[in-house]
Amino acid sequence: MQNIWNKCFPSNRTWARRAAAISVSSVLLLSAAACGTASETPQNSNGEAGASEDFSVGVFPVFVSLPAWVAEDQGMFSKHGLNVTLKTINTGPTMVSALASNSVDAIVNGLTGVETARAGGLPIKMVAVTYPHSIYSMLASNDVIDGCREAGKPYPKPIQCAKGKRVGIVGGVGTESYTVALSVLKEAGLTEQDVSMVPIGGGEAGGGAMEAGQIDIQFAEDTGAAYTTQVLKVGKDLVNLKTEGVFANWIGEAMWAMEPNLQKSPAAYEKFAAAIDEAVEWIRDPSNTDALAATFKKYVPTLNPGTISAVSKDTAPFFGSTSTCSSVQNVTQWLVSTGALTSSQAPACEDLLSNPAQVTSTP
């Protein structure tokens, strides 16, 4: 008897040495297919490829779902033998619940939400990386930037410009946006008592609040940032959270599935991961910018056309199908530092990708 894990993957000790550079472009459990554990493509009596497999994916009505939308519209799912149904779900907790109840086969979600769900006992694993960067921006109004002498200085000094200002937080106190804001403020020695937290809506709502003079600073995801800075032009990046500070080495979004389903249908998830990886590369190709914008508009028709254009052009390069264990560990450490997880609940990188104890043995 030979353990599949030992055959296909390095030992935990070897893994630790490789963690800094390991690619997590698709869930490692699926790589067991290369060792003969994945089922073959269904065939009919004539030996021809069989019908496509039905597969459902939970997506958010925001830009992070672009890989799934592109894979569907560009025929990448069907190319890989999947008949995919995309189900729009509005919130992270509802998304995780849909996955746990098998209402969907896979979901797009942030690593932060997945780790907290795993701490609650859900065996969720990564299928494919889609956005290996922070989705957040820290924006300041033009007036704040023009009137703050710390603006434009090396990180984290510009964050000092938030002192005494009204800071827009998506959803208000207790949300991830709120926790992100506290973490960033802390980088410059500021606390919640140094600012006034103002609840705002998601997406383009923050830009409207800044234009109306209701907030001075906002923590926005890429859609809101594009609307504020490029459509309304009422604010600018105060600091770049994709390249500076605590969120510089980060995984923003990925595709996830339940471990039992991965074990039951490894070939289907391998096809899904391959299609998503192709979609990510397609998104990153500048020649596809106009087509990407058309896809974005199709699935989120209420967004301002300028926002759609800006996100399609400027955010596309930040999509990616690979990341590192160090970025996974940074997310985990951040969750522990903010109290979202205890140290005992913090998973190792490999625990998020595959579980050796659940791999069966073969002759």
**Residues 6+ positions from 260 with CB-CB distance below 8 Å:** 123
Residue 297 has phi, psi (to 5 degrees) of -65, -35
Q: Are the beta carbons of 232 and 223 closer than 8 angstroms?
A: no
* pLDDT category of residue 50 using cuts at 50, 70 and 90: low
* pLDDT category of residue 361 using cuts at 50, 70 and 90: very low
User: Kind and range of the H or E element at 336?
Assistant: helix 325-337
pLDDT at position 22 over 90:
no
Pairing of strands 253-258, 124-131: antiparallel
pTM, rounded to two decimals: 0.84
* pLDDT category of residue 162 using cuts at 50, 70 and 90: very high
**Residues 6+ positions from 225 with CB-CB distance below 8 Å:** 137, 139, 237
pLDDT at position 38 over 60:
no
Span 135-146, average pLDDT: 97
With helix as H, strand as E and coil as C, how does 172-191 read?
CCCCHHHHHHHHHHHHCCCC
pLDDT digits (tens, 9 = 90+) for 309-359: 999 999 999 999 988 889 999 999 999 999 999 999 999 888 898 433 222
pLDDT digits (tens, 9 = 90+) for 237-260: 999 999 999 999 999 999 999 999
Q: Average the pLDDT over each of 22-36, 149-163, 296-310 and give the range with the smallest value.
A: 22-36
At residue 116, the pLDDT reads 94
pLDDT digits (tens, 9 = 90+) for 187-224: 999 999 999 999 999 999 999 999 999 999 999 999 99
pLDDT at position 170 over 90:
yes
* pLDDT category of residue 362 using cuts at 50, 70 and 90: very low
Give the N- to C-terminal CA distance of the chain in Å, as an integer: 4
pLDDT digits (tens, 9 = 90+) for 345-354: 999 888 898 4
pLDDT at position 16 over 80:
no
The torsion angle over the Cα atoms of residues 304, 309, 313 and 314, rounded to 10 degrees, is -30
Question: Could you write out the DSSP letters of every residue in 247-307?
Answer: GSS---EEEEEEHHHHHH-HHHHHHHHHHHHHHHHHHH-GGGHHHHHHHHHHH-TTS-HHH
Cα(52)–Cα(134) distance, rounded to whole angstroms? 35
**Paired residues of 126 in beta bridges:** 256
Please tell me the CATH code under which domain 2-8+23-39+50-133+250-356 is placed: 3.40.190.10
Q: Which sign does the torsion angle of CA 87, 89, 95, 100 carry?
A: negative
What residue ranges do the domains of the chain occupy?
2-8+23-39+50-133+250-356, 136-247
The verdict on domain 136-247 having CATH code 3.40.50.300 is no
Cα(79)–Cα(274) distance, rounded to whole angstroms? 10
